[in-house]
Structure 1
Amino acid sequence: MYHYLNDPGINKKYVSVTIGAQKYKTEIQAKNQIIIADEPVEVGGQDLGFTPAELLEASLATCSVMAIRMYADRKEWNLQEAKVNVSFKRNIKTHLVAFKKEIEIIGDLTEEQRSR
């Protein structure tokens, strides 16, 4: 099995994040890709992109669905689609964060395959 993250030949690049004078609009760049993050209007942003919390949720959900796809492909299972919803709640007083993840699997899979 090929693990590209452990490949010494892969040039490990970084993520660069820049904020300018425009309140809360943030440019995130990785490789040749750029995305915009911002805050909602009600907290002083312009709602031009994902909030930092949404980016965190998206990262966790993306890692999950990609892992599901890679596992299904390796096992040669008939996975048509995987969907992951991630949300979190933050307790401001205790500084505790709780994540909730819901997974939906679509495909011709047995119950045993789905449980993995």
Structure 2
Amino acid sequence: MAHDIVNAHLSGEPFRTLLTDGRHDWFGDVGRESGGMDAGPDPHAQLLAALGTCTAITLKMYAARKGWPLDDVRVRLAYAPDHKDGDAKIDRQVEFVGALDADQRARLLEIANACPIHKLLTGPVAVATTLTESP
């Protein structure tokens, strides 16, 4: 059974796609150089946004449970599709703002890899695609 459901609907404009999770609506698109309207982030940016959001939230929740003085979390992500070994690569830089000691910073860096989206991206993932008939 699916945990989260997102619907994507592309109709009319070249590539602008309406996305909804039932509570929030947003657009995905591609840039004008690719024939889109640049009406929203492209799929790669949305994937990076999911990882960045998950990383920041996971770190903030962990620090709060520990009572650590983490005031701010900044995550910078970059996608490199053709890394030198032939595999795609995501570079993630994490910055912690707060009076954390070296051990706390090291532990938080480890915890960054425990966010659910990181686990999804680095683990085996099966994508099952089926055809649904239109009425």
TM-score, normalised on structure 1?
Answer: 0.84
Q: Write 1 or 2 for the structure with the bigger share of strand.
A: 1
Rounded Cα–Cα distance in structure 1 between residues aligned with 2:103 and 2:20: 40
> Of residues 87, 96, 117 in structure 2, which corresponds to 1:105?
96
Rounded Cα–Cα distance in structure 2 between residues aligned with 1:95 and 1:17: 30
> Of residues 20, 39, 42 in structure 2, which corresponds to 1:48?
39
What amino acid does structure 1 have at the position aligned with 2:31? P
Rounded Cα–Cα distance in structure 2 between residues aligned with 1:90 and 1:103: 21
Higher deviation after alignment, 38-47 or 95-104: 95-104
The residue matched to 1:39 in structure 2 has which SS? Answer: coil
Say whether residues 1:83 and 2:94 are aligned partners. no
Instruction: Give the paired residue count.
Output: 105
**Cα displacement (A) at 1:32:** 1.3
Cα shift readout 1:47-89 (whole Å, capped 9, x = no counterpart) = 0100001001101111110110111011011111001111111
**Structure 1: runs of 5 or more not aligned:** 1-11
Q: Which runs of 4+ in 1 moved over 2 A?
A: none
The residue matched to 2:90 in structure 1 has which SS? Answer: strand
Say whether residues 1:73 and 2:64 are aligned partners. yes
1:20/1:95 Cα in 2 relative to 1: closer, same or farther (>3 Å)? farther
**Cα displacement (A) at 1:95:** 6.1
**Cα displacement (A) at 1:13:** 4.7
The residue matched to 2:62 in structure 1 has which SS? Answer: helix
Rounded Cα–Cα distance in structure 2 between residues aligned with 1:111 and 1:19: 48
RMSD: 1.8
Say whether residues 1:24 and 2:47 are aligned partners. no
TM-score, normalised on structure 2?
Answer: 0.73
Rounded Cα–Cα distance in structure 2 between residues aligned with 1:81 and 1:72: 11
What amino acid does structure 2 have at the position aligned with 1:29? T
The residue matched to 1:96 in structure 2 has which SS? Answer: coil
